[in-house]
Amino acid sequence: MGSAPLLAVRGLAVSFQRDRDGPVSRALRGVDLSVDESEIHGLVGESGCGKTVTSTAVMGLLASPPARIEDGSIVFEGRDLLGLSAEERRKVRGRQIAMVFQEPARYLNPSFRVGSQITEMLGLHLGMSRREAEARAVELAGLVGLGGARRVLQAYPHELSGGMKQRAMIAMAISCNPHLLIADEPTTALDVTLQLQILRLIARLREKFRMGILFISHDLRLVRTVADRVTVMYAGRAVETTSARELYRGALHPYTRLLLASIPAAQKRGTRLKVIPGRVPDAQAIPAGCAFHPRCPLAEDRCRAEMPESREHEPGHAASCHFVGKPWPD
Amino acid sequence: MRLLTFALKRLGRLLLTVLLISTIIFFVIRVIPGDPALVIAGLDASPESVAAIRAKIGTDQPLAVQYVRWLAAVVRFNFGTSLSTGQPVTQMIIERFLLTLGLALLGMVVALVLAIPLGILSAVRRWSVWDYLGMLFSQIGMAVPGFWLGILLLLLLAVKVHWFPLFGSGTLKHLVLPAVALGFARAAVLLRLTRASMIEELSREYVVTARAKGLTERMVKYKHALKNALLPVVTVAGIQLGYMLGGAVIIEQVFSLPGLGRLFLTGVYQRDFPLIQGGIVFIALAFSLINFAVDILYSVLNPKIRIG
C-alpha cells in the first residue's frame, strides 16, 4: 500500500442547525478516517452515530443549511475537497468518488430506463458518444452479473428484482472507474442469499479495479467478513480503528468490545444475549468527557471530565479510551 | 409493444364507456316528462297531426325498437335531425365543437404556460419572491370566478382600449380573452399542483443518487425530478380539459361565442331531444378520448402504469 492514503478525513466536525435560534446537533465531533488504495474499509456504528453524515460530507452532498462543516479536512488523492468549489466537487462525484445506496428501489429513478441512468454519467464525465456509452453500459452490466445485459438495460427499475436493482446501482457507480466507492449499507435491504452475492461482487470489483471502498454498515459481523480494516464510530467520533483480524483478537475500546459481545452466535446458544445498556446519546446533548461514559462498565471520574484523544496502541491499531487494557468487570 | 396492448385495452374500455353513456342517456331522456311531438306540434294541434309527428320522429315505436335504432344510429355517428332547425345534429355539433375545442385547448395552453414554469420556480426557489408571487397568483386565480374575470377583461381590453374584439368569433383574436378567462382558474390549481409535486420529487432518494453521480443541478432538477413531478400535473390537466369542453357555457355566454355550450342550452330550452342526446354522447366521447390520450401520454411518462 502507498504511503499516503487515498482518502484521509481528519478532525471532521459537522453540526446541524434547523432554525437560527434552534438547537445545534453536533453530528460529527472530529472524525478521523482513512481509506487506502484498493482497501475495503468498514465503517461501523449504531444508527445516528454519524456514518452517513461522514459519507455525505465526503461526497460533498451535505445540504447547507442546515449542515455546517465546523472543522477538519477531507483529503482525497492529495487535495482537500473542502477547499474546492461546488462545480469542482461535482466533477469529482461519480467520476472519482462514487456511491451505492441502501435501498436501490428508492435510489433509482423510476421514470428512466436503467441503461440511460448509466449512460448519462458516461456522457457527462467521460465525454462518450451515445454509442460508446451504450456499449460500455452493456460491458458494465455483464461485469456486475446482470445476465441478459441488453434486456436489463432496456428495462425500467420496477421491472427488475431487488438484487438486480442493486447490481444496476453498482454498475452505475463503477461506470467511470472511480478510485473510491462508498457503499452505504449496500446489502441491508436485500435478503440473506442476495447479501452474500452482492458482498462477493463488491470484493471482486475491488480486486479488478483496485479501488478503495468505504463500506458502511451497522452490522459489525458483516463488516468483519468483508473489510480489511474497520473503523468504529460512536456519537460522532471514530473510537477505534484496526484491521479486521485484530478486531477479532483484541478490540481495545469498551464500546467495540461490547458490540462484539452482543453479536449472537451458535456457540453461545443457551446463554443470555448481551446488550449494551442505555442508548446512543442525542446529538444535541452529547455527554461531557468521553461520550460513551454513561454506558461504559469501565467509566471513572476522568471519563466524565476529559475527552480521550485517539492514540495508537499498537501499529495500525488506534483507540480513544483512557483505560485501554483495564480488566473487564463481571 | 406493451404500450400497444395497453392502448388497445384502454380503447376497448373507452368504447364500453361511450356505449354505457348513450344507453343511460337514451332512457333518461324518455323518463323526463314532456312529449317532443307535442312540443313540435303545439298545444292546439289535432291528435292526428301529433300522431303523424310521432311516426316521423319514431316515438310511436316500442321502446326496445327505439333503443336498437338509436344505438345503430350512434354507431354510425348519426344523431338524427334537430327538431327545431331540421339540420342534422351531427353537423350542428361539429360546427360548434371546433370553436369550443379551440377555446378549451387555448385555455389549457394559457393555464399550462402560467402554471408550470411558475410552479417549478416556486418549488426550486422555495420561500423566494417567485414562490410568494406564485402563491399570490394561485390564491387570486382560485378566488376569482371565470365569468367575472371575463367581463373585466372585456371592459379593460375591448372597451377601454380596443386591443381585442368585444364579441364575435372566427379569428384567433376572438378567442384570446375567453381563453385567458377560462384558463386562469385552471392555472391556479395546476400551479399549486406543480409546486407541491416538484417539492415532493426533489426530496426523493433518486435525487440524491443523481447528485452523487455528479450530474449538474440542472440535470438533477429539470431532468430527473421534473419528469416525475409532471405526472400528476398531466393527469389533472387532462381531466380539466375534458371539463372545459362541456363546461365553457358561461364563458361562451359572456363572450357571445357560438360554441357547444350555447347550442345545448338552446337545445334544452326547446326540448330538442335529438340535439341533447347527440350532444351528450358527443361530449362523453370527446371526454373519453381526451382521457384516453392522457392515459397514453401518462404511460409514456410513467412506465409503471402499463402493468395495470
HSE-up (13 A, CA, CB side) for residue A102:
11
Q: Provide the mean pLDDT of chain A.
A: 89
Which residues in B lie closer than 8 A to residue A59 (C-beta atoms)?
A: 212
Is the CB of A105 inside 8 Å of chain B's CB atoms? no
Integer Cα distance of A211 and A266 in angstroms: 35
- Does B213 score more than 50 pLDDT? yes
Min mean pLDDT across A6-15, A135-144, A148-157, B169-178 is at B169-178
Helices H / strands E in chain B, number of each:
14, 0
Cell of B152: 373585466
User: Which pLDDT band holds residue B116 (cuts at 50, 70, 90)?
Assistant: very high
3-state SS class at A298: coil
Residue B83 vs residue B113, higher pLDDT: B113
Integer Cα distance of B233 and B108 in angstroms: 12
Per-residue pLDDT, averaged over B156-174, amounts to 81
Min mean pLDDT across A34-43, A153-162, A284-293, B68-77 is at B68-77
Q: Which of A94, A107, A111 is facing B302, going by the closest CB pair?
A: A111
Integer Cα distance of A264 and A275 in angstroms: 10
Q: Which of B214, B302, B304 is facing A95, going by the closest CB pair?
A: B214
- Does B174 score more than 80 pLDDT? yes
The helix (run of H) or strand (run of E) holding residue A33 is: strand A24-35
Residue in A closest to B230 by C-alpha: A111
C-alpha dihedral sign at A14, A20, A25, A29: positive
Say if the Cβ atoms of B209 and A109 lie within 8 Å.
Answer: yes
Say if the Cβ atoms of B214 and A99 lie within 8 Å.
Answer: no
A79-80 and A311-314 beta bridge pairing: unpaired
- Does B170 score more than 80 pLDDT? no
Min mean pLDDT across A171-175, A177-181, B127-131 is at B127-131
CB neighbour list of residue B209: distance below 8 Å, 6 or more residues apart: A99, A101, A107, A108, A109, A169, A172
Q: Is A61 exposed, middle or buried (0-12, 13-18, 19+ CB in 10 A)?
A: middle
Cell of A243: 484491521
Sheet holding A317-319, edge to edge: A97-100, A180-184, A212-217, A40-44, A229-234, A237-243, A317-319, A311-314
- Whether A31 and A236 have beta carbons less than 8 Å apart is answered as yes
pLDDT at position B308, please?
41
C-alpha dihedral sign at B5, B10, B12, B13: positive
Q: Which of A93, A106, A111 is facing B214, going by the closest CB pair?
A: A93
- Whether A233 and A30 have beta carbons less than 8 Å apart is answered as no
pLDDT at position B305, please?
65
The helix (run of H) or strand (run of E) holding residue B131 is: helix B129-143
User: Which pLDDT band holds residue B205 (cuts at 50, 70, 90)?
Assistant: very high
Picking from B3, B126, B204, B206 by the largest number of A CB atoms within 10 A of its own CB, the best residue to mutate is B206
Cell of A45: 456504528
- Does B302 score more than 80 pLDDT? no
Q: Nearest 5°: CA angle at A164, between A158 and A170?
A: 110
- Does B159 score more than 50 pLDDT? yes
pLDDT at position A87, please?
93
The interface pTM score, or ipTM, of the predicted complex is 0.89
Q: What's the predicted TM-score (pTM) here?
A: 0.82
Per-residue pLDDT, averaged over A246-272, amounts to 80
pLDDT at position A268, please?
64
pLDDT at position B298, please?
80
Per-residue pLDDT, averaged over A102-129, amounts to 92
The helix (run of H) or strand (run of E) holding residue A182 is: strand A180-184
Which residues in A lie closer than 8 A to residue B205 (C-beta atoms)?
A: 101, 103, 106-107
Say if the Cβ atoms of B204 and A106 lie within 8 Å.
Answer: yes
Nearest to B171 by CA among B99, B97, B263: B99
- Does A1 score more than 50 pLDDT? no
pLDDT at position A93, please?
94
Q: Provide the mean pLDDT of chain B.
A: 86
Nearest to A286 by CA among A10, A9, A24: A24
pLDDT at position B306, please?
57
C-alpha dihedral sign at A108, A109, A113, A117: negative
pLDDT tens-digit profile of A47-92? 888 999 999 999 999 988 889 999 999 999 999 999 999 999 999 9
Beta bridge partners of A9: A33, A74
C-alpha dihedral sign at A256, A262, A268, A273: positive
pLDDT tens-digit profile of A272-316? 777 787 878 888 888 888 999 888 888 888 999 889 988 888 888
